[in-house]
A and B are shown apart, each in its own frame.
Chain A
Amino acid sequence: MRWINIGLGLAVTGIIGFFVVRELLIDPLYFFELFLGGLTRGSIYALIALGYTMVYGIIQLINFAHGEIYMIGAMTALIVASVLGLWGWNTAVIAILAVVFAIVYSCAYGFTVEKIAYKPLRNSPRLSALISAIGMSLFLQNYVMLAQTPDYLPFKSLIPDFHFWEPYAHIITSVELTIIITTVIVMILLGILIKFTRIGKAMRSLPVMWDRSTFSSDFWQGSKPLSQRFWVVSALSRAQCWDRWYWVFPKAILPDISTVNMKMYLPFPSWY
């Protein structure tokens, strides 16, 4: 079985590799354009995935509402940007404010969702919490569809074309550059948070505390670290909403991020 997996994996990778290399040889510039575009989207997904896995790692719950929180951040950014745009504010100021608002709002939503839908079920069977999560996801989707619109909405670019970047703009745009740099910074900050701060250590220790009796040992304090993590995670998934530079899809709302992840893993069977 293992060898079939390895063989299949190699075959798929080989075929993909063949096309990649062929593309590279035919038109290197086009190749790098695509490559960097992929990297950009990938880094957005990676941030979402980080938040996702953090939640799962701690409460062993698949947070179905994670994508919705992301969507709420994007919607907030869009609304803030549109309103301020109408008032004729400076684009840079709009961009910063949109990010700040998006982060605050998705933090608040993440925090509230946890309080309402997950915390009361902390000691119940995992299936209950899972269903509660699905319910939260459906609720948020429909809430935004009703409150805003189920249609596509244009999101005007808030990031100007950097002057100094002009020579390379044909390979990677300023927007993509901003996304990649932001991602790297956010990931480094997250790494520091997890590794060195008290909250971070508490987060890492939590999976073990998941059983009732350790929960309660000496330093356990309510569910604060848990709630804090939701906070951080929501902020994280938000940190990048603003560079969704062209469309927001309240309608599609990523049937769920999990599907995206599945697709990403498809070329890598279990030998991976």
Chain B
Amino acid sequence: MLKLTNIHTYYGNIHALKGIDIEVEEGEVISLIGSNGAGKSTTLMTTCGIVPAKKGRIELNGEDITYLPPDEIVKKGICQVPEGRRIFPYLTVAENLDMGAFLRNDTEKIKQDLDYVYELFPILANRKNQVGGTLSGGEQQMLAISRALMSRPKILLLDEPSLGLAPIVVKQIFTIIGKINQESKTTIFIVEQNANLALKAAHRGYVMETGKITMTDTGANLLVNEDVKKAYLGI
């Protein structure tokens, strides 16, 4: 469904991605793990068109989207939940969600999605009129995910959903991520430092080191892989 072929991305002179190949099939949950500065977030940024690739090709269902501007890419059905949540602190929860559907005009379906999102995260329904900035970290993460869902993505890109959250909240969020994947058949691509959780949740995983993919296998296999254990799971 989503296919990255030999992607090279630069920040100025810094060669951040050195030829990445990733393939995501429809309905899958994919995890990309790696240490700080490996280029995980950059991979997402490049996919979204925010930091366009210098070389390589990104395809969505066979269509070349490498050099499309971010808004076009969102329209095509790729939506990112940015690192650190980045909700709109001065807008209410309902307004935040409405902004997620900014590119859509089908009022009826937006309403449906809104109900779905509120069902997924009942706490957001309770806080509908609360200003986003006053939510707790976990609630903000839920809001960020919901906002992304409001654009009806085919692929949901999650950048460090566990960042700065209590372990119990992280667990809750990963449960719901699984639920989103099963219920609405949304393909999910997670970038995580918490390798253990991410690999457990994923069908397949990729391991990244300094701008290169070093390993790829099913989530379960990676979890028991000796090298991965040593490097990322701390066992």
Enumerate chain A interface residues (CB-CB to B < 8 A): 198, 201-202, 204-205, 207-209, 212-222
Contact = CB atoms under 8 A, between A and B. Distances in A.
B28 interface: no
B74 A221 contact: yes
Nearest to B75: A221
Nearest to A219: B102
Interface stretch (B91-99, B195-203, B218-226): B91-99
5 contacts: A204-B91, A208-B86, A218-B81, A218-B100, A220-B71
B86 A201 contact: no
A43 B42 CA distance: 50
B151 A219 contact: yes
Chain A interface main SS type: helix
Nearest to A224: B71
Contact of A205 (B70, B71, B79, B88): B88
Given A198-B102, A202-B99, A221-B103, A208 B89 contact: yes
B151 A218 contact: yes
Contact of B88 (A208, A212, A216, A222): A208
A216 B50 CA distance: 6
Given A213-B50, A214-B86, A222 B71 contact: yes
A215 B48 CA distance: 11
A221 B71 contact: yes
Nearest to B79: A218
Contacts of B39: none
B148 A218 contact: yes
Contacts, number: 71
B161 interface: no
B73 to A, nearest CB: 9
B49 A216 contact: yes
A214 B74 contact: no
Given A207-B90, A217-B86, A218-B153, 13 more contacts: A198-B98, A198-B99, A201-B98, A202-B99, A205-B90, A205-B96, A208-B86, A216-B50, A218-B80, A218-B148, A219-B101, A221-B74, A222-B69
B34 interface: no
B235 to A, nearest CB: 33
Nearest to A206: B88
Contacts of B69: 222
A189 B97 CA distance: 24
Interface string B81-118: 11100101111000110111111000000000000000
B154 interface: no
Contacts of A207: 90
Nearest to A214: B86
Interface centre among A205, A216, A217 (most CB of B within 10 A): A217
A222 B86 CA distance: 18
B212 interface: no
Closest 5 CB pairs of A and B: A221-B71, A216-B50, A219-B102, A205-B88, A214-B86
B148 to A, nearest CB: 5
A216 B91 CA distance: 18
A105 B43 CA distance: 45
B57 interface: no
Contact of A216 (B70, B100, B103): B70
Contacts of A202: 99, 102
Nearest to B149: A218
B147 interface: yes
Contacts of B99: 198, 201-202, 205, 219
Contacts of A217: 80-82, 86
